[in-house]
Amino acid sequence: MGLIEPHALLLRAPREKQLLYKIMTIENLIRSILGEYLYFNRVDSYKDFKNADPNDGEQLPLERIINERSYFEKDPSFSGANYYDRARSRTYACCFSLENSDFIWRNYGKGGKKGKVCLVFDFGKLRATLNQSLQASNVHFQYNGHQCNQIFDINYGLVDYVRRDKVQSDFKYLRNPIEYIYIKDKRHKNDNELRISLSALGWGSFKLNDGTLIVFPSSLFMAFDYRTAINNKTIVKILAKKEEELDCFEFIKNFRVTSEL
């Protein structure tokens, strides 16, 4: 079973009342409301839009050199670098900004025909909601129509912005894989990012009962009820900048949404 915040001591979290800002196209928001999910992207697949970080979650260059020389005693063919790469390919992120900045409005939520909006979340309430949902006795991971055990750890943290080509850990031991998920190059600092991660173990394999190997998809949907989130102030408000977006927003706000909107 996946764990709740097992790496909290390794990460920096904001204060409970911190507001989080997430830009979405109106179409994606409507799909999320109807599907009742938060969208998580696998961190090694951020490659399909401008400003995407192809190194998201990857080992730091100077540390990869060391990791490639480190091997597991029980499997000398499997290096530390292999382990980190595999962990990265099993880790997903849902991203927010700490600021309602012009930068995030300019650079995110592109491609929609109906415009974009900004969801404003209360961090503490969002964290409590997601943790509670993963602690439910009936929680599971749906894979190709199969109901599987919930295998993902959930963590929350602020992203540290560094010179990726210059930084190297001075600790005696290798990093925990989760640390790389919360390190990005300084050129992305305007994101001012808080991210929620879902990560599975980076060693071994995961299989269905019939022996079928689980291939981790490029995205995950985590159950999230937007109606409840609005009512209990987990979603504090929804911001829109243009008149035509406000027209659609009235439907969204009252959840009079259909798949045709």
CA distance 181 to 93: 8
Please say whether the beta carbons of 23 and 116 come within 8 A: yes
CA distance 104 to 19: 15
DSSP state of 9: G
Structure-token pair, residue 177: 């894989």
Structure-token pair, residue 174: 């290798």
The mean pLDDT value for 206-232 works out to 94
> What type of residue is 205?
S
Please say whether the beta carbons of 121 and 98 come within 8 A: no
CA distance 211 to 209: 5
How do the domains of the chain map onto residue ranges?
A: 8-254
Which is nearest to 231 in space by CA: 253, 251, 199? 253
CA distance 218 to 46: 10
CA distance 202 to 93: 16
Structure-token pair, residue 208: 């269905």
Mean pLDDT computed over every residue of the chain? 89
Q: Is the pLDDT of residue 260 over 80?
A: no
Q: Is the pLDDT of residue 259 over 60?
A: no
pLDDT digits (tens, 9 = 90+) for 36-80: 999 999 999 987 566 778 899 999 999 999 888 888 878 888 899
Which is nearest to 98 in space by CA: 196, 237, 233, 192? 192
Which is nearest to 72 in space by CA: 92, 86, 89? 86
Please say whether the beta carbons of 43 and 199 come within 8 A: no
The mean pLDDT value for 97-102 works out to 97
CA distance 142 to 205: 17
Coil, helix or strand at residue 212: coil
Alpha helices in the chain, H assignment, sequence order? 26-35, 61-67, 80-88, 102-107, 123-135, 177-181, 226-231, 243-254
Please say whether the beta carbons of 121 and 235 come within 8 A: yes
Confidence at 256, pLDDT banded by 50, 70, 90: very low
pTM recorded for the entire structure: 0.91
Cα Rg of the chain, angstroms? 19
What pLDDT, on the 0 to 100 scale, is given for residue 258? Answer: 40
The mean pLDDT value for 208-223 works out to 95
